[in-house]
Amino acid sequence: MHVLHLIKTSEGATWAINLIKELKFRYTDLTFSVIIPNGGKHVHKYYEICRNVYLFDYNLNYNLINQGVKFRRIVIKDEPDIIHSWFSQTTLYSRFFLRNIKTPRLFQVVGPLHLENSIFKYFDIKSAQSNDYWVGTSKYILNKYRESKIIEKKLFLNYAYIDTDKLLESKDDIALLDFRKEHKIPERFKIIGTASYIYPPKFYNKTGVKGHEQLLEVFAELLKVRDDVVLVIAGTTFGDNQSYLKSLELKASKISKEKIFFTGKYSNIYNVISIFDVFVYLSRSENLGGVFESLLFEVPTVSSDRGALPELVINNETGFNVPLNNNKLIVSKILELLSSDNESIKVKGKLKVQQLFDKNKIIEKAYLIYKEIV
């Protein structure tokens, strides 16, 4: 069985690379090809594990038709038994330019953002044909398709590939930030923090997807109750435009010039979150990313209640999830975690992540989905 993967980045999407690698190792009846852009740091890995690597940019510009013709020729040449797409953009490419090619197409949906926008959701559902299938990587995503009346035999549930054992083993080799010493933060002070890309607002929103503006507002309210706290915002802007980051830094300076820190790019998330007393993640649209690391590394976590986050951050069990329209409640949950040792929450949070992202089950389920579709 030959599977052609469509991936719009060769810089990220490591879950796709690792899944392909594991499937190839465990199931000798599987072979793989991939269509990816050139120039990313992971290109060489695809050459190691795929039969064919086709370098291609999934542009949506004036040259779209010519690109589409080129894309179609690649697919016909490759002769896959299944086309496995990982992004909305790659999925729409396959649906618009392969209309009369009946090869089964599998859209593995790693994030719910497009499903929460009526226009993008409409194009996803309406562009599908009889040979299209979906894999939700959370129950939240799966239910979004069920609500759209997609028939059950077209839908599958399989979580994104994450090797939790490897992550836990690697943390002992990671150099930790000596953040307190670097910024002269007293030992008695508590560190509130978040870590993610700093995404500028989408064109139809006024605030960023990851809720950094609201986090600053919450911290301002927290300072009214406790003065022994600092806020660390770890991560760099997604893309080259720095204007959004500068606007956040300006907003932060008006709240406190001594108690809010931006770390910029970090080499490993454990490098920064290991210093946090509480991890806060107020994302406005999210699957299961963003919080699995903090739970796995036993950092008490407060998240928004958006998307699939409540499937990991379970109130009073693995952490607290909160509605974004209630800053007072968010502050109270942070204070609650700051005033407790949180041993039970830490243990249960780590266990929940390990159970949900069981790599052996994920790999086996991916193979069984391929078999069932074919």
Domains and CATH numbers, the chain: 2-162+358-373 (3.40.50.2000), 165-356 (3.40.50.2000)
In this prediction, residue 307 carries a pLDDT of: 95
Strands, E assignment, the chain: 2-6, 31-36, 52-55, 82-85, 105-109, 132-136, 155-157, 190-195, 229-234, 260-264, 278-281, 301-304, 320-322
Q: ∠ CA(205), CA(209), CA(215), 5° rounding?
A: 110
Strand order from edge to edge, sheet including 301-304: 260-264, 229-234, 190-195, 278-281, 301-304, 320-322
Distance, CA of 110 to CA of 125 (rounded, Å): 16
Residue 218 structure tokens: 């919450």
Q: Which residues contact 164 (CB under 8 A, 6 or more apart)?
A: 296, 353, 354, 357, 359
pLDDT above 70 for 198: yes
CA distances from 7 to 76, 119, 198 (A): 17, 22, 22
Three-state SS for 331?
helix
Per-residue pLDDT tens over the stretch 183-195: 888 989 999 999 9
Q: ∠ CA(129), CA(289), CA(330), 5° rounding?
A: 120
Distance, CA of 22 to CA of 366 (rounded, Å): 10
| Mean pLDDT on 172-180 | 82
In this prediction, residue 203 carries a pLDDT of: 66
Computed on alpha carbons and rounded to an integer, the radius of gyration of the chain in Å comes to 22
pLDDT above 80 for 118: yes
DSSP class of residue 153 equals G
- The answer to whether the CB of 25 falls within 8 A of the CB of 16 is no
| Residue-by-residue DSSP string for 44-104 | HHHHHH-SEEEE-----STTHHHHHHHHHHHHHHH--SEEEE-SHHHHHHHHHH-TT----
| Mean pLDDT on 71-83 | 98
Per-residue pLDDT tens over the stretch 92-107: 999 999 999 999 999 9
290 φψ region: left (φ > 0), alpha (ψ -120 to 50), beta (else): left
pLDDT above 90 for 129: yes
Confidence category of residue 219, pLDDT binned at 50, 70, 90: very high
Distance, CA of 301 to CA of 292 (rounded, Å): 10
Per-residue pLDDT tens over the stretch 318-374: 999 999 999 999 999 999 999 999 999 999 999 999 999 999 999 999 999 999 999
| Residue-by-residue DSSP string for 224-288 | TT-SSEEEEEEB-BSSS--HHHHHHHHHHHHH-SSSEEEEE--S-HHHHHTT-SEEEE--SS-SS
* Maximum distance among all Cα pairs of the chain, rounded to whole angstroms: 66
Instruction: Please return the burial class of 131, using the count of CB atoms within 10 Å of its CB with bins 0-12, 13-18 and 19+.
Output: middle
Percent of the chain residues past pLDDT 70, beyond the cut:
99
Residue 260 structure tokens: 């809010």
Distance, CA of 288 to CA of 295 (rounded, Å): 11
In this prediction, residue 199 carries a pLDDT of: 85
Distance, CA of 237 to CA of 246 (rounded, Å): 10
Distance, CA of 311 to CA of 327 (rounded, Å): 22
pTM as predicted: 0.92
Identify which of 158, 5, 3 has the alpha carbon closest to the alpha carbon of residue 90: 5
Beta bridge partners of 36: 55
- The answer to whether the CB of 278 falls within 8 A of the CB of 301 is yes
pLDDT above 70 for 204: no
DSSP class of residue 175 equals P
In this prediction, residue 207 carries a pLDDT of: 82
